[in-house]
A and B are shown apart, each in its own frame.
Chain A
Amino acid sequence: MTLQILLNLVIGMVWMLLHDEWNMLTFTIGFLIGSIFIFALRRFFPGPFYGLKIWSIIKLLILFNVELVKSSLIVIGQITRPKLNIQPGIFKLETKLKSDWEIIMLTNLLALTPGSAVLEIAPQEGVMYIHAMDMAEFRHSIAKTKDLFEEAIIEVMR
């Protein structure tokens, strides 16, 4: 994948040299043409086309922003209720992610999703302890969003 990105940058540079116009626009055009070439020749490279990875990163970002908006609305709904009626609690969730980077990403994403904040991680056992703002309401939705995030992260990282 690194090879593909480097090659694409080189194609952009060469395009800029051939045109003898040293600006960002020419480089961008060359970069786009280079990515078309690499896409056409993708079966000669060892890994899959790197555009797929970028697409999965964009999908992860969209998913994350949607969850962030939802969670803010839920938290504000809880706060502005005239009588505060929440039952916070700590529960554990198992994760199938292994490496440090994947777990860091999942923790960061879960901290900004509806009613959940990661309290403690035990990476050896693959267990995360999560503090939920309202156990009854959020327990299942947190597990569901965790699965969504896990799939998206695996798509990006592996």
Chain B
Amino acid sequence: MNVNAIIEILIAVMVLAGTVLSLLSSLGFIRLPDVYTRAHAATKSVTLGILFILLGTFLYFWFVHGLISIRLLLGIVFVFLTAPVAGHLIIRSAYRSGVKLSDTSVKDELREDLKKATQLEKYHSREG
């Protein structure tokens, strides 16, 4: 087995791994109970899947066509920058517009603190 065959197998494994990761995380969208847990599936596994697919494509163009495409690497960087921000904004706006957590949730310290804060505000406004 020569070097080229090994590299081709490596590329195939990377692209397949990325595809499987994306497939499994879309399975997560269906199975998970609420928007907050779905955001976990959307930000983590999908990002890793895209990383694998783009790296595989980068290696393919490099070794098979002798072409170093920096744009593919930049694609990875921008997905890494935007995916967590998008996930954070989605769950934050969901919480602010009052989307309920799933019934299996065990704790919500933010709600407790918000209640405390509003009680304090009421208390202060009464004094003033």
Contacts and interface: CB of A to CB of B under 8 A. Distances in A.
A75 B81 contact: no
Contacts of A118: 88
Interface residues of B, number: 41
A8 B76 CA distance: 29
Interface string B105-124: 11111110100000000000
From DSSP, what is the main secondary structure of chain A's interface residues? mixed
B88 A87 contact: no
From DSSP, what is the main secondary structure of chain B's interface residues? helix
B24 A76 contact: yes
B10 to A, nearest CB: 17
Contacts of B83: 111-112
B11 interface: no
A80 B84 contact: no
A90 B110 contact: yes
A81 to B, nearest CB: 9
A120 B92 contact: yes
A92 B104 contact: no
B91 interface: yes
Contact of A108 (B48, B81, B101, B109): B81
Contacts of B95: 119-120
Nearest to A114: B44
Interface stretch (A18-26, A33-41, A64-72, A149-157): A64-72
Interface in A103-134: 107-109, 111-112, 115, 117-120, 129, 131, 133
Interface in A93-111: 107-109, 111
Contacts of B113: 92, 129
B91 to A, nearest CB: 6
26 contacts: A68-B48, A68-B51, A69-B48, A75-B25, A75-B41, A75-B44, A76-B24, A76-B45, A79-B28, A79-B31, A84-B33, A87-B106, A88-B33, A88-B34, A90-B111, A92-B113, A107-B88, A108-B81, A111-B43, A111-B87, A112-B44, A117-B88, A117-B91, A118-B88, A131-B36, A135-B106
Nearest 4 pairs between A and B by C-beta? A111-B84, A89-B107, A79-B28, A72-B48
Given A76-B28, A87-B106, 12 more contacts: A72-B47, A75-B41, A76-B45, A79-B27, A80-B27, A84-B33, A90-B108, A108-B84, A111-B83, A117-B87, A119-B110, A131-B39
